[in-house]
Amino acid sequence: MFDQLLGLLLLGLGLKNPMTGEVAGSQSNTNNGTIQGNFESNRGRNKKNNERISEVKDKLNYKYDDQRKIKADKLLVKIGELNTRTTQKMTARLAKLSEVLDKMKTRASDLQAKGLDTSTVEEKLATAESTLEVAKNAVAAQAGKMYAVFSSDSDISTNASTSINGLKNDLRQVKATIVAAKQSLKDAAVSLRALSNEPMITSTPAP
C-alpha cells in the first residue's frame, strides 16, 4: 500500500522511484511513443499501398479505355464501309435508270417527228425525270452521312447497334425514292409503248 502511494507521489513529481530506480511514468511514455511510431509507420504503409492501388487502377482503366476506343473505331469503319458500298450500288443503279430515260426521250422525239401526239408521254417522262432527280439527291446526301460509335459509352455494342439501325432506316428511305423513280419510268414506258402502236398521222392527199 505504501509502495503504491509512493509511486503516485513520485509520478506527480517526475522523480525516480527509490524502490525501482525508474523515473515515474517513463515506462508509460515509452509505450505511448512506441504505439505512436507504429501507428505512423502503418499509416505510411497504407498510404503507399493506396497509391500503388490507384496507379494500377489508372493503368487498367487506360488499357480498358484504349481497347474500347479501338473497338469503337473498328465498328465505325465497318458502318461507314457498309454505307459506302450500298450508296455506290444505288448510284450505279440510278445511272442505268438515267440511260433508260434518255433512250425513252429519244424514242418520244422520234414518234413526235412522225406526227404522233406525244404530250401524254412527255408528261410521264417529265415525272420520271423529276423522281429520278429526287433519288439522286437522296443517295448523294446518304453517301455523305457519318455514323458515330462513342467509346465513352458504357456499352459500345448497344451504341453500335443503334447506329446500324439508324443506317438501315436511312437506306430504306433512300431506296424508297429509287423505287418511286423506277415506277415513274415504268409508267412512261407503258405510255410510250402504247403510242408506238398507234397509227401515224398522215397528211391529206391533194385533190
Closest CA to 136 of 107, 164, 101, 188: 101
Instruction: Give the DSSP H or E segment for 195.
Output: helix 156-196
Lowest mean pLDDT: which of 41-45, 53-57, 121-125? 53-57
pLDDT in tens, 106-160: 999 999 998 999 999 999 999 999 999 999 999 999 999 988 776 555 566 677 7
pLDDT at 97: 95
- Domain residue ranges of the chain, discontinuous segments joined by +: 71-196
* pLDDT over threshold 80, residue 176: yes
Mean residue pLDDT across the chain: 75
pLDDT at 66: 66
Radius of gyration, alpha carbons of the chain: 46
Q: Which whole number is the average pLDDT over 44-58?
A: 55
The alpha-helical segments, DSSP class H, found in 21-152 are: 26-113, 119-143
Contact between 108 and 121 under an 8 Å Cβ cutoff? The reply is yes
Q: Quick one: pLDDT band at residue 198, thresholds 50, 70, 90?
A: low
HSE of 78, CA atoms in CB hemisphere, 13 A: 11
Which amino acid is present at 136?
Answer: K
- How far apart, in whole angstroms, are the C-alpha atoms of residue 175 and residue 102? 22
Residues of the chain with pLDDT > 70, as a percent, come to 58
Instruction: Give the DSSP H or E segment for 3.
Output: helix 2-13
Q: Quick one: pLDDT band at residue 15, thresholds 50, 70, 90?
A: very low
pLDDT at 154: 56
Q: Which whole number is the average pLDDT over 24-52?
A: 54
Residue 197 dihedral angles phi and psi, to the nearest 5° = -85, -10
The alpha-helical segments, DSSP class H, found in 114-150 are: 119-143
Cell of 147: 455514323
- How far apart, in whole angstroms, are the C-alpha atoms of residue 108 and residue 198? 13
Long-range contacts of 201-204 (CB under 8 A, 24+ apart): 201/115, 201/116, 202/115
pLDDT at 172: 97
Cell of 72: 469503337
pLDDT at 146: 86
Angle at the Cα of 130 from the Cα atoms of 128 and 134, rounded to 5 degrees:
115
Closest CA to 121 of 179, 181, 194, 183: 194
Q: Quick one: pLDDT band at residue 87, thresholds 50, 70, 90?
A: very high
